[in-house]
Amino acid sequence: MDINSMNIEEIVRQVLAGMAGNETPVSAGAGIPKTARVAVLTKPENFELKEYPIPEVGDDDILVKVEGCGVCGTDAHEFKRDPFGLIPVALGHEGTGEIVKIGKNVKKDSAGKDVKLGDKIVTCMIFKDNPDITMFDLNKQNVGGADVYGLLPDDDIHLNGWFSDYIFIRKGSTFFNVSDLDLYSRVLIEPCAVLVHAVERAKTTGILRFNSRVVVQGCGPIGLICIAVLRTMGIETIVAVDGEPKRLEFAKEMGASKTVNFKEYKGIEALAGAVENAFGGHLADFAFQCTGSPAAHSNIYKFIRNGGGLCELGFFINGGDATINPHFDICSKEITTVGSWVYTLRDYATTFDFLKRAKGIGLPMDKLITHTFPLEEINEALKTNLRMEGLKIAIINK
């Protein structure tokens, strides 16, 4: 009897709050605990589950119950040796979850879509009062210089990363209502946005077209998603280059027409010949370099025809110097090269439609997530990533 009365009181309170213009944060009520577990990287190769109080939700804040978060290569680098100097830090930036409490001023997401209690969201970045970072202007800069949840220094809020039970989204953040996408698709949004951006950068060269012959070097998650983005654009002649047979087989499932295993060829001339043969006696019109290997960057120019194009997107950290011959590799071939780094807000929104299109044409996007772990096993999840077992690793909260 008392429990029922409490439920009724809670329902009445929320209804009255709504009638009054949502003057107080709307929440899911008694289901929200007072504390949340957060996986904090306290030293290299060691996460500790810490418990912190859940802060009060202000008028411009959102409390999200985390459902899942992918493990990025950036997380793995930070886990291994803290190259960004963030320890102690709550990692996880490929996350998604359900709004369980929302401030009265939060009515729409960053694309202008209505948002409410119970909606599923993803975050993109936190503004730094930078007028060049806007939603729908393709000529503005990418978000590489902005703050991102999961790569924030620790503070008095603590709920700063998606490797947690709850995350606290504060004023100035960009976020999107993605309730129309399933959990695995939502977990893949961030890495897919990287490739949507890369292809948009490639298109600026004027070389990448429907009938282009395209080579993708590197068939980890980034290269495989690159193939999928190209395939959804209608590009059919795609050659994937990698050294792992299982990844090359999956590249075909994602849309590659031919594959080349570089381990089967001795020397760059033989490898370039194999790529040329895979294209029926032609070099590539355009190439995407998706590895973090300087040697791979040096080699890829040999795969590209005179007047062709290259998008380099494999180096998300300093992987060292690459050696090329400017005369043979760039000047005499008149190669047009673009670099790609993370994404713009526009690319992030475009990614939602890409994921729907990819599933619509039968690309097995869900199969990219090969391993899932609960939050308690996050150390093993990161070690699995470092051992390069599977493809995309994810933390999934039950």
* pLDDT tens by residue, 307-322: 999 999 988 778 899 9
Domain assignment present for 4:
no
Which structural domain range is residue 42 located in?
Answer: 14-180+364-396
* pLDDT tens by residue, 368-386: 999 999 999 999 999 999 9
Q: Specify whether 200 is located in the same domain as 232.
A: yes
- Give me the mean pLDDT over the 127-146 stretch: 65
Residue 5 has pLDDT above 60, yes or no: no
Domain assignment present for 354:
no
Residue 138 has pLDDT above 70, yes or no: no
- Give me the mean pLDDT over the 348-374 stretch: 96
Domain assignment present for 2:
no
Average pLDDT of every residue of the chain: 91
In this prediction the pTM is 0.89
Residue 8 has pLDDT above 60, yes or no: no
Instruction: Give the pLDDT confidence score for residue 63 in this predicted structure.
Output: 98
For residue 121, the domain's CATH number is: 3.90.180.10
CA distance 106 to 61: 7
Q: Is the dihedral of CA 251, 252, 253, 257 positive or negative?
A: positive
Q: Specify whether 323 is located in the same domain as 382.
A: no
Q: Specify whether 155 is located in the same domain as 197.
A: no
Q: Specify whether 134 is located in the same domain as 63.
A: yes
Residue 335 banded pLDDT, cuts 50, 70, 90: very high
CA distance 184 to 320: 33
Buried b (16+ CB within 10 A) or exposed e, 204-219: ebebbeeebbbbbbbb
For residue 316, the domain's CATH number is: 3.40.50.720
Q: Specify whether 314 is located in the same domain as 253.
A: yes
Q: Specify whether 216 is located in the same domain as 174.
A: no
* Last residue of one domain, picked from the residues 324, 339, 354: 339
Domain assignment present for 277:
yes
Average the pLDDT over each of 98-112, 136-150, 353-367 and give the range with the smallest value: 136-150
Written as one letter, the residue type at 257 is S
* pLDDT tens by residue, 274-304: 999 999 999 999 999 999 999 999 999 999 9
Residue 154 has pLDDT above 70, yes or no: yes
Residue 12 has pLDDT above 50, yes or no: no
Instruction: Give the pLDDT confidence score for residue 18 in this predicted structure.
Output: 46
Domain assignment present for 159:
yes
Burial of 243 (0-12, 13-18, 19+ CB in 10 A): middle
Domain assignment present for 119:
yes
Helices 245-253 and 221-232: crossing angle in degrees, nearest 10, is 20
Q: Specify whether 98 is located in the same domain as 24.
A: yes
Q: Specify whether 26 is located in the same domain as 115.
A: yes
Instruction: Give the pLDDT confidence score for residue 305 in this predicted structure.
Output: 98
Listing DSSP states for 47-87 in one string gives: EEEEEEEPPPP-TT-EEEEEEEEEEPHHHHHHHHH-TT---
Domain assignment present for 80:
yes
Instruction: Give the pLDDT confidence score for residue 140 in this predicted structure.
Output: 65
Q: Specify whether 205 is located in the same domain as 303.
A: yes
* pLDDT tens by residue, 29-78: 558 999 999 999 999 999 999 999 999 999 999 999 999 999 999 999 99
Q: Specify whether 43 is located in the same domain as 157.
A: yes
Instruction: Give the pLDDT confidence score for residue 317 in this predicted structure.
Output: 77
For the chain, the domain total comes to 2
Instruction: Give the pLDDT confidence score for residue 217 in this predicted structure.
Output: 98
Q: Specify whether 200 is located in the same domain as 333.
A: yes
Domain assignment present for 327:
yes
Helices 189-203 and 345-360: crossing angle in degrees, nearest 10, is 100
Q: Specify whether 83 is located in the same domain as 199.
A: no
Instruction: Give the pLDDT confidence score for residue 28 in this predicted structure.
Output: 59
